[in-house]
Amino acid sequence: MKGEARFVGIGADNAGMVYGLVRRVYEGFEDVTVEAVRDLVSTAMYSMAALVNDRPVAFASSIGFPGAVEVRNLAVYPGYGAVLRRLLEVMLSRLEPELGGRLVRVSALGAPSIIEAVSALGLNPVRRILKVRWILGSHATRCAGKVSGKVSVVRVSELGQPEYVARAYLEGIRTHWDWWIRSEKGGYEPALADVTRWLEENPSRWFAATIQDRIVGASGYNPHRRLAGAVWLAGVAVRPEYRLSGIGWALLCAVLDSASGEGFREAVVYTYSPMTGLAPGATLYLKSGGLIQAEYVHFEGRLDRA
């Protein structure tokens, strides 16, 4: 018989308590280690677990951005969806002083028990984020012959102009990622500063696409923080007026070839898609040999606690 749930804060000192739960829920979707769990609770605004008979059955953590507070890393054992819902309510009540009018977002793994618990909060599902994974080397045949001859792709270390490349990147992603620019980065200028810094730190791993000396798109990658032998892709960004002309293929093939040439074995990207269907970026990734490994749903809203 299930007992009453009690809720406890989770920090670096007791992160191991929830490791087994998080690993079980995300196995096959994300790579979970004790160090990764400890890192996420150490950097979170607040992390909390629900215990039933002193056993962790639900978990969530939160992080703050300039325009939003996001609850993420949700995990729950089967049959405890109602406990996860209550955990989220308790967490949001304790985060109330931090909200300050900021948007509330919940990033939920697309598992029925988790989606059901989040839906009960009264937030609205607004988008999906797909995790796409490539085994490097398998993309080469698909890329062959698909790069337009009018597009030049060059490393930023050779081209220079990191701020101009960063602007092209932001103009390319803001069609679907304006929410990220506004709520997580705090606006266009802070986002531009961050992307420019990414380029300056790893100019040989970022590429710009040019047509007649105009920078029309960009993409890049960094070694994955937690997955050995893998890279995280920043995604392929092409200015709207230059899309559907082979530029996305050229950039994607360049970054995958470069990562493969460095000896990396796989690549992952998190890409936007609407609630139904696929966005062009996701379609590009799948056509190049990427496979969807996980799906997350973003719920958003402003909670009235008056």
| CB-based burial, 239-278: b 16+ in 10 Å, e otherwise | beebeebbbbbbbbbbbbebbbeeebebbbbebbbeeeeb
**Longest alpha-carbon distance in the chain:** 70
The pLDDT value given to residue 306: 42
| Measured CA distances, 239 to 63, 186, 280 (Å) | 30, 22, 13
For residue 187, the number of C-alpha atoms closer than 13 Å in the C-beta half-sphere is 2
Task: Write down the mean pLDDT value for the chain.
Answer: 91
Percentage of the chain beyond pLDDT 70 is 94
pLDDT above 80: residue 88: yes
Domains contained in the chain, CATH given: 5-122 (3.40.630.30), 131-294 (3.40.630.30)
pLDDT per residue as tens digits for the range 100-128: 878 999 999 999 999 999 999 989 999 99
